[in-house]
Structure 1
């Protein structure tokens, strides 16, 4: 390939990574913007982060990386700088590659998962505009769970609950919630059905890996005092068993692909900041068209476009 000086590249890093739809999303955006950024994927395990950073990442023309599991916390110590959000959460999902005044490579960590969760929930009516009275449940205790807690705070939730198999691992969420000013309690994962039956939960965000939440589907109550919203970040396969159980009860459900879309939109804005056509400064019509093309590339329906800006 003959590379021009204007050519840049980005990638998604993680393991497993073959299922990721990030390449489709980003490629559609860069084609719409007319900027020369190619986007691919790299299988990087937690044990090989340093090898990637010293070898592949040292190559020229990088603008940044999308970071998925299991690297969201492992990458943080390697950053030259991080955003306030990453400082609070201890996890990132975005790395911006730059240079300092001496021409040395710099790595800046950001977390756009929070943006993705907030936007996905807003599209099913969780706006954060009501008085803080709702309870926000997070299934799991990994890096995406930390972002979900930040989303709960941004959406003006009154309290949060983490449901996890390991209370010891989930305890890390208590420190994050304290930093966010968000009251938090930790519950065993198998208590979810009981709490739903009692009408204690308004929003449920499952951050568990694909199929890990399947056993919970059989615990779902047939009756519930409310209609809680579910965001299941695991989108392959879709619908998940948990999402199917939710839909069968006529409770609102949104796919992890919505979260993926909106966190990617923010990444595109960051990755194109120094190009001739930055995504963040498009007019509303062009921005909406870009998101529509990203939706189409990821196989998403277009019924939620009203909140795509």
Structure 2
């Protein structure tokens, strides 16, 4: 029987991805002779690329714009993938299993930063990462979520997720007067710069900032956030990758790796030096 030892991250663009450094460092430390590469694949080319994989392939990490396509392709979905409509991890085999590790990555990033007591959250953006952020906010204890979107009409998915979770979700344009919240989760594309008249009130009332973007760092939003804790999106990247490795090794994302603290430290060093 052919051993499944090949892994990769797919997306478009993909050249900037730190995932190969993170994963390779973990597999070396675990003593696994697995390969992990990157490949540029767009949404139109995803079905054919997936069909072309042979029995040497163990799994895939998916980044934009493939998370919805991977969700549609999966035979089985974990709870986070089902809720968000986004899959960033595929485990290959007789069935195609889809997982969302972004939710857990956000939760782990907050936990590692020792941020607790979150009851209200503001989410900036309404895309796939915002859906994961909403589920993560719920798992962190949030009961009220204020979503800010350029097109509030595009946030229907977030309202549906909130209804299913029992979270009060209100959607507003960016310039709507804000109420104070415990934390802000920014899911806007890297390089986004909001008008100062928008960021000033969001910053003064925004609590702890989690900025999903991590390159370049600090982002414009993080640089002007003031005295509250700021969590880089690199923490989400790191911890969602740890959960992916758990899946590729164990078939589930909640079962810890052997000597996981050591693995996380090795991954962090590898990515910082990439």
The two structures have a TM-score, normalised by structure 2, of: 0.91
Task: Note if contact 1:19-1:236 (Cα within 8 Å) is conserved in structure 2.
Answer: no
Task: Note if contact 2:2-2:55 (Cα within 8 Å) is conserved in structure 1.
Answer: no
The residue number in structure 1 matching 2:90 is: 95
* Equivalences for residues 222-301 of structure 1 within 5 A: 228-246=207-225, 249-273=226-250, 280-282=256-258, 286-299=259-272
Query: Counterpart of 1:254 in 2: which secondary structure?
Result: strand
**How far apart are 1:116 and its partner, in Å?**
0.6
| 2: CA distance, partners of 1:243 / 1:86 | 28
| 2: CA distance, partners of 1:229 / 1:126 | 8
| 1: CA distance, partners of 2:79 / 2:215 | 31
Task: Map Cα deviations across residues 160-184 of structure 1 (whole Å, 9 max, x no partner).
Answer: 1111111121122111111111110
Query: Counterpart of 1:171 in 2: which secondary structure?
Result: helix
**How far apart are 1:48 and its partner, in Å?**
1.3
**Alignment partner of 1:37 out of 24, 34, 38:** 34
Q: Which has the larger radius of gyration?
A: 1
| 2: CA distance, partners of 1:175 / 1:153 | 14
Give the RMSD, CA atoms, in angstroms. 2.2
The residue number in structure 2 matching 1:184 is: 169
Task: Map Cα deviations across residues 248-290 of structure 1 (whole Å, 9 max, x no partner).
Answer: x22210110000000000101111127xxxx8352xxx21111
**How far apart are 1:190 and its partner, in Å?**
2.9
How many matched pairs?
A: 270
The residue number in structure 1 matching 2:107 is: 118
The residue number in structure 2 matching 1:84 is: 79
Task: Map Cα deviations across residues 197-228 of structure 1 (whole Å, 9 max, x no partner).
Answer: x5x2211111111112x125563338977661
Task: Note if contact 1:97-1:108 (Cα within 8 Å) is conserved in structure 2.
Answer: yes
| 2: CA distance, partners of 1:289 / 1:216 | 42
Task: Note if contact 1:118-1:155 (Cα within 8 Å) is conserved in structure 2.
Answer: yes
Task: Map Cα deviations across residues 39-90 of structure 1 (whole Å, 9 max, x no partner).
Answer: 01111111111121222xx223111111111111122111111112211221
The two structures have a TM-score, normalised by structure 1, of: 0.82
Call closer, same or farther: CA 1:245–1:77 in 2, change over 3 Å.
Answer: same
Query: Counterpart of 1:75 in 2: which secondary structure?
Result: helix
Gaps of 5+ in 1: 100-105, 301-309
**How far apart are 1:25 and its partner, in Å?**
0.5
Gaps of 5+ in 2: none
